Amino acid sequence: MRTLITGGGGFIGSHLCERFLAEGHSVICVDNFITGTLSNLDGFRNDPRFSFVGHDISHPLQIRGPIDNVLHFASPASPVDYLNYPIQTLKVGSLGTHNTLGLAKAKGARYLVASTSEVYGDPEVHPQREDYWGHVNPVGVRGVYDEAKRFSEAMVMAYYRTHNVNTHIVRIFNTYGERMRLDDGRVLPNFMGQALRGDPLTIYGDGSQTRSFCYVSDLVEGIFRLLFTDHHDPVNLGNPEEVTILEFAQEIRAMSGSASTIAYKPLPADDPKIRKPDISKARQLLGWEPKVNRHEGLARTLRYFQEKVASEQTRKIAKGA
């Protein structure tokens, strides 16, 4: 099979490229590196079945030859990124989704879009089920991401209903693992970077808000299974093991052996107070549930960030010399 992945230079996208190559596919990675990095492709970019196209998918893309699968994962995904690139975030969720759906339609390809738990906003239903419509502030600072994803879901369903494109929607909950950026702005790289540098761990609010963290290999497995089903409605993928942000900070601090203190700052506007997926549908439809427990996944990720921080410190020393 020949599979095209937009955002393939990003955190999750690069793991998808690797997985599809491992499954014997030829992979076309499309990225403009607004938030992704070329180094994420180092492990496989010399594979003859891998090709890279530097392109902003908010503009139409022409690809020669057949394509069997189109996965649309291009988008800034952390608050730091989509607040820095609000218009680009809206465009890649709208125009980018339109362009990739058009490509899938023209090629007769399967299609899967990366949606997000953020479509549920600051939820009033817990845990979050796929039939919950969400509680989103469309004009708040986070609205550029939330509404881009909600719009993308609506367009995907329109292409399924109108053009019979074989579409799929995955709603991704907090995911972590190797290839996250230290400056990503999300809670895990923030905590690990701060702990490894000996800086205070920054908690926004009182730390009682909850998240549920899924290791990236588990997410990729769920995505791969979903793509090859005949199910077209959204499916949650995430780890239902819920933890408070304060507990999470203490866990990372202990694991890293850091003496960092904890610093409290005001909670950002519209920050969700709870987040936990109901994965009943994924269990029933895909036979899927997370396999990597949080301690194991965090240990793997910590080793990755230890290397990143060590390289960062070496560069600073060399620059100072």
pLDDT digits (tens, 9 = 90+) for 78-98: 989 999 999 999 999 999 999
Residue with tokens 């949606």: 115
**How confident is the model over 67-76, as a mean pLDDT?**
98
Cβ-contact 308, 182 below 8 angstroms:
yes
Tokens representing residue 248 in the block: 């999470």
pLDDT digits (tens, 9 = 90+) for 8-61: 999 999 999 999 999 999 999 999 999 999 999 999 999 999 999 999 999 999
Backbone phi, then psi, for 43, in 5-degree steps? Answer: -70, -15
pLDDT digits (tens, 9 = 90+) for 167-184: 999 999 999 999 999 988
Q: What is the pLDDT of residue 189?
A: 96
Q: What is the pLDDT of residue 318?
A: 77
Q: Which of 82, 85, 111, 145 is catalytic?
A: 145
What CATH superfamily is the domain 2-176+215-239+273-291? Answer: NAD(P)-binding Rossmann-like Domain (3.40.50.720)
Burial of 129 (0-12, 13-18, 19+ CB in 10 A): middle
Among this protein's residues, is 145 annotated catalytic?
A: yes
Q: What is the pLDDT of residue 270?
A: 85
Closest CA relative to residue 115, chosen from 71, 78, 152:
152
Is the model more confident about 172 or about 313? 172
Cβ-contact 271, 204 below 8 angstroms:
yes
**How confident is the model over 116-131, as a mean pLDDT?**
96
List the beta strands (DSSP E) in the chain.
Answer: 2-6, 26-31, 50-54, 69-72, 110-116, 167-172, 175-176, 201-204, 210-212, 214-215, 234-237, 242-244, 262-265
Cβ-contact 6, 36 below 8 angstroms:
no
Q: What is the pLDDT of residue 313?
A: 79
**How confident is the model over 141-158, as a mean pLDDT?**
97
Tokens representing residue 161 in the block: 């209903």
pLDDT digits (tens, 9 = 90+) for 229-258: 999 999 999 999 999 999 999 999 999 999
Which residue ranges make up each domain of the chain?
Answer: 2-176+215-239+273-291
Q: What is the pLDDT of residue 312?
A: 81
Percentage of residues in the chain having pLDDT higher than 70: 100
CA distance 311 to 109: 42
Q: What is the pLDDT of residue 321?
A: 53
**How confident is the model over 298-316, as a mean pLDDT?**
90
Q: What is the pLDDT of residue 218?
A: 98
Closest CA relative to residue 148, chosen from 170, 125, 191, 118:
118
**How confident is the model over 71-77, as a mean pLDDT?**
97
Beta-strand relationship, 210-212 and 242-244: antiparallel
Q: What is the pLDDT of residue 96?
A: 98
Report the mean per-residue pLDDT for the chain. Answer: 96
Q: Which amino acid is at 5?
A: I
Closest CA relative to residue 11, chosen from 114, 89, 85:
114
Give, to the nearest 10 degrees, the angle between helix 11-22 and helix 216-227: 60
- Is the bond preceding 138 in cis, omega lying within 30 degrees of 0? no
